Amino acid sequence: MKKATLALLLGCFMLGLNLAGAADTLSVSLVPVASNPPSPQMGDWLKFRSVIKNSAGQPTHGVVAWISLVQVDPGKEQPVDLEDWSAHKAVTKAVLRPGQELSVDWPMRLIQSGSYRVVISAVDRETAHVMTSPFVDFRVRRKPVVESARILPVALGVPAVILGLIALRRYRRRDRA
């Protein structure tokens, strides 16, 4: 019985070692910078700062970290193509020594209104799974960009001015005659 218990404990210990081997070698943090607007609207810039740290006892190689954005509005849940939001979508680092940190700023321009969740993912050559930062949620207020109040006066006013010029010209010609 004692032997069986010992074997079980040893098994658990070995399993623990295996799990430790699959643990994250990189720790990734993500926070919005203090200068971000408190209630951002379309067109504003937001910046997020992440620190990617090698928390393992050995160097990691081929580190790649990238930003992902997901819209989380009810009924509109979808990943967002960052093409127009950010030109800074990923960073790479050839080697990250034990304890070494890589600090990265992720600026983005808010293109569309809605509720969003941003996350940084990182991989290295040694680890077989992706390591992620905590989520940061933010909401983008709508900003009407094509306003009828602005277009209507122009759309009606410009032709009206030209019509007025035509009428004035005809009136003057008739007056002369």
Partner 1 sequence: MNPIALIARKEAGELLLSTRGLAWLLALAVIMSVLSLLLVSNTELSLLDNAQVVYMVMGTVTALGGLLAVVLGSDTIAGERERGSLLPLLLAPVTPSQIVFGKMGGQVVGWSVMYLLSLPYVWAVGSSGQNLVQSVVYLALLGTPVVLGFGFLGIALSARLRNVRSALLTSLIMLMLMTSPLLLGPSLRQSTIGKWFDALNPFSAAVNTFDSVVIDSQPLGMQTTRLVVALIWLAAMAALAVRSVRKMEI
Query: Interface residues with partner 1 (CB under 8 A)?
Result: 42-43, 84, 109-113, 142-148, 150-159, 162-163, 165-166, 169-170
Least distance from partner 1 to the Cβ atom of residue 93, Å: 28
**Nearer to partner 1 by C-beta: 21 or 157?**
157
Least distance from partner 1 to the Cβ atom of residue 116, Å: 13
Least distance from partner 1 to the Cβ atom of residue 137, Å: 20
**Nearer to partner 1 by C-beta: 63 or 80?**
80
The pair of three-digit structure tokens given for residue 112, joined into one six-digit string:
């569309």
Q: How far is CA 149 from CA 26, 100, 102, 145, 158, in A?
A: 52, 55, 48, 11, 15
Closest CA to 68 of 106, 103, 12, 19: 106
**Nearer to partner 1 by C-beta: 16 or 164?**
164
Least distance from partner 1 to the Cβ atom of residue 119, Å: 22
Given phi > 0 = left and psi -120 to 50 = alpha, else beta, which region is 161? alpha
**Nearer to partner 1 by C-beta: 18 or 148?**
148
- Read out DSSP for 82-110? GGGT-S--EEEEEEE-TT-EEEEEEEEE-
